[in-house]
Amino acid sequence: MWHRVFGLSATPVSPVALVEHLTAKSLIVVPHFRGDDLGWTSGELHLPGNGTALLLERYLTEEDELRKDLNAFAAELETMNYSPNFAAMMARVIQTKQMVTLRKPYDHADEVNLDVTVLAVCRYLAANCDGVYQIDGEGWFAADGTVIVQEY
């Protein structure tokens, strides 16, 4: 399952601060991040137990030709006119400066811990890059977890 964070700030969220935040919530991960001169570009968060790591990829709108993808998300939001927030979310997505994708593995032994960790990562990233997050099949959420647009 895919989770995505759409940030209005292009400043990278510190991987160290992210891991410290997770640790403070008693969520233990072993991080492996890679990057370049523009900040981190990808990462893996290995959770205790067997299974594939939680994979993160960070894209910048200007450098990674992200505009077509953002337009596709905005077009999808346009079909969600049953929500009073769809137009505001469309505008917000179009203004995105960075997007972080999280690929939740299907083979982890502790699904409950995995789900809690994924949500904690999404909320932390969204809160620290002036962002929102989206979960496939569920909807669009504010950094505090409030539903902005429900997906049906």
Counting as low any pLDDT under 70, the low residues of the chain are none
pLDDT on residue 48 = 87
Q: Which long-range CB contacts under 8 A does 78-87 form with residues at least 24 apart?
A: 80/149, 80/151, 82/152, 83/148, 83/149, 83/150, 85/140, 85/148, 85/149, 86/149
pLDDT on residue 96 = 98
Count of structural domains, the chain: 1
pLDDT on residue 51 = 76
Range(s) of the domain holding residue 87: 2-150
pLDDT on residue 39 = 94
pLDDT on residue 52 = 84
Q: What single letter denotes the amino acid at residue 80?
A: M
